[in-house]
Structure 1
Amino acid sequence: MDRDKRLTLPAFSPDKFGDIPNLFWIMNEKGEILFANMRFLKFFRRTREQVIGNTMENIIERRSSKELSKLFQVLLRKNETVREELLFTSANTTGFFSVTMIPVFDNRKLSHVFCSAFDLTPIKNRYAKIARDRTAIISILAKYSEKILPEAEKHLRIISEASTMIAVALREKENHKITKDFIKDIREASMLHDIGNLEIPQGLLSKPSRLSKDEYQIVKEHTLKGVEIIEDFLQTGSALLRVCAEIIGYHHETFDGNGYPHGISGADIPLSARIVSVADSYASMMVKRPYRDALKRDEALKIISQEKGKKFDPVIVDAFFSIEKELNTLVNLA
């Protein structure tokens, strides 16, 4: 930050901040509290005498004070406003807060830090309810789209868990810009990969023998038909629906370009679809189908290994094998 542009406010009246609805407190450059409003005192169940002249470490629960201390150290290092979402715990209350710390300078020297904490808990609770409802709706649609297949629920569970774990592995080990929101979305969107099956004759999907060439062409249309089912909702700008559309439309594309429906290859295939391609193939081999029994684990892993660089993205395959043992344990315990 340009030193000449820093806020300079050498004198202030703490009484002016007593009515702020958020938790509000003022510290000196040592982190000692000079003022705390009533919201602060009530939340942490402290008196003004217990707070003034003390540091947060001596006032509030250890975990909360530790996170606040880290944020304060960032402010001292950068000499600029810092903001973070933190979990605060008092004697009988826990809540999520958006904490902002603003440095105040006197002759270019830090003199005070104004701190405010906005309670996000009601918003977080409403979002959690919406997220639970969203997950329930997706699960219902996914199960309905595969209801005629044996072990459909297990198939969906494996796909969802595998897709999530692969995405997490890629985020940790590879140079992929994978966000927490992407991981959350792919966990749910992966279960809708075959929603286009709702538009395919059920007799073909449950046929106990191999499909003819013409029948297979009809079944392959489930990718395009699946996108058609949700395309009217894509204009909402929902990131989840965008990932759904990618997975539904492209999870049968192959890394070498021999897949369908568009025959694209490599990085032209959306990352979400490349991940679900591996997860879906593994899940499909591990469950019973109308025309065959489930494959043994070693057989499934051998096929995935052989398809590395052909059907599957090599990076995704490596990520899959890094989590497969944990995935297998999780699936068998469920």
Structure 2
Amino acid sequence: MPNEDTRMLKLAYQQMPYGIIILNQRNEIIFMNQMAEEIRGRSAQIIQGNNVLSCHPQKIKEVVARSLKALREEDPKNSNRMTIDKRNDKYYETNYIPIKNNNGSYLGSMLISKDITEQRKLEEKRLSHLKHFKEEADRLRAELQELFFSSLDSLIKTLEAKDKYTEGHSTRVADISRKIAQYSCDVSPQIDTIELASQFHDIGKVGIPESILNKPGKLNEEEFSYIKEHPILGEDILAPILKPKSIKPKPMKKVIRHHHERYDGRGYPDGLKEDEIPIGARILAIADSYDAMTTDRPYRNALTPRTALKEINSNLGTQFDPELGEVFLMLHDKGVIN
């Protein structure tokens, strides 16, 4: 190459907005432009001819050495790393590029450093904003959740004012459901959802006339048809307020809707059977039935726990999930449920 062309090429390298260092096969610096001098804080006249590793602190020499070694491989990939100039509050990204002849033999390498301070600071600002938005979203979610529970608590109080026999029922059922769920390995991620659904499973009864809820005798067919609507009413009542993502609205609504389904498919409202019924609803069905049997109702006195347990045991596989029913009976036998 004519001397004039060589001089022009060097001038072009010197005026580039990137730091450029060219190394020979022995990783010795044979060229370093002005931008590279600024980035490295070293003069080309002083370090030219030195091994490039001497320009780096001891703790990152191994990283640079590995990058340079990789360039000698038969089919190397360009590698890059980020360096930080704490003194000047600057960030640089350096790309390591192999230099080869026409035969593919390795001659040396080129290190091209780019100032990425502005991009980095924009990214830091973006992450800071995201953190702020997340904190604000968490705060709003907590407020919504508090409002959610307050709303449901008001509905429960409304129901208990209408039907004195339901007082404490939901709390006891929720406690039993949680214990069954805790001992059922398949539902451990759903425990909180099942407990919450159990707490509010009868909320749909707020839409049923008090005369039916508190009737001392047996319900006729028309009256019972009203009762059978309460799981659907409960799902509809909760739909508008089950918005916070942490509440898991869909599973909770399904547990409430299907807690009167039967294992044999003869339940309501949809006639689901066996595994078609959400597992949370199958758990709730057992807990709800046991507490209902062992407490006073308008139409009968409470059964003894022993009688209620026999009733549940005799209906495993028909009304109740047999495996979950066995878990319930075992927990009662051990005194976990009493």
- TM-score for both structures, normalised by structure 2: 0.55
Of 257, 263, 270, 1:262 maps to 270
Structure 2: state its 5+ residue gaps.
1-58, 64-81, 87-130
2:302 matched to 1:299? no
Of structures 1 and 2, the larger Rg is shown by 2
**Which of 285, 298, 308 is the matching residue for 1:290?**
298
How far, CA to CA, are the matches of 1:266 and 1:150 in structure 2? 33
Mapped contact 1:251–1:273 kept (Cα < 8 A): yes
Q: Which residue of 2 aligns with 1:326?
A: 335
Give the secondary-structure state (helix, strand or coil) at the position aligned to 1:147.
Answer: helix
* Deviations 1:56-103 (CA, angstroms, capped at 9, x unpaired): xxxxxxxxxxxxxxxxxxxxxxxxxxxxxxxxxxxxxxxxxxxxxxxx
Find 1:178's aligned residue among 184, 188, 196. 188
**Counterpart for residue 158 of structure 2:** 144
Identify which of 217, 232, 247 aligns with 1:224: 232
Q: Is the 8 A contact 2:181 2:188 kept in 1?
A: yes
Relative contact order, higher structure (CA 8 A, sep 6+): 1
For 1:193, the equivalent position in structure 2 comes to 201
Q: Is the 8 A contact 1:161 1:327 kept in 2?
A: no
Query: What is the alpha-carbon distance in structure 2 between the residues aligned to residue 253 and residue 178 of structure 1?
Result: 22
Partner of 2:173: 159
User: What is the alpha-carbon distance in structure 1 between the residues aligned to residue 154 and residue 294 of structure 2?
Assistant: 22
Equivalents in 2 of 1:129, 1:251: separation in Å? 29
Deviation at 1:261, TM superposition (A): 1.0
Query: By how many angstroms is 1:14 displaced?
Result: 12
CA drift of 1:147 comes to 3.1
Amino acid at match of 1:216: F
Could you state the TM-score of these two structures normalised by the residue count of structure 1? Answer: 0.55
Aligned to 1:332: none
- The alignment-based identity, stated in percent, is 33
Shift, 1:170, TM fit: 0.1
Give unmatched runs, 5+ long, in structure 1: 1-7, 17-117, 330-334
Change (3 A) 1:297 1:239: same
**2:284 is equivalent to residue 276 of structure 1:** yes
**1:274–1:313 CA contact under 8 A, matched in 2:** yes
The alpha-carbon deviation at position 257 of structure 1 amounts to 0.3
Provide the C-alpha distance between the structure 1 equivalents of 2:199 and 2:162, rounded to a whole number of angstroms: 15
CA–CA distance in structure 1, aligned partners of residues 253 and 309 of structure 2: 28
Change beyond 3 A, Cα 1:264–1:295: same
State how far apart, in whole Å, the 1-side matches of 2:149 and 2:311 are: 32
Count residues in correspondence: 213
Over the aligned positions, Cα root-mean-square deviation in angstroms equals 3.3
C-alpha deviations, 1:276-327, integer Å up to 9, x for none? 1111101111211111111111011111111101001111111212322434
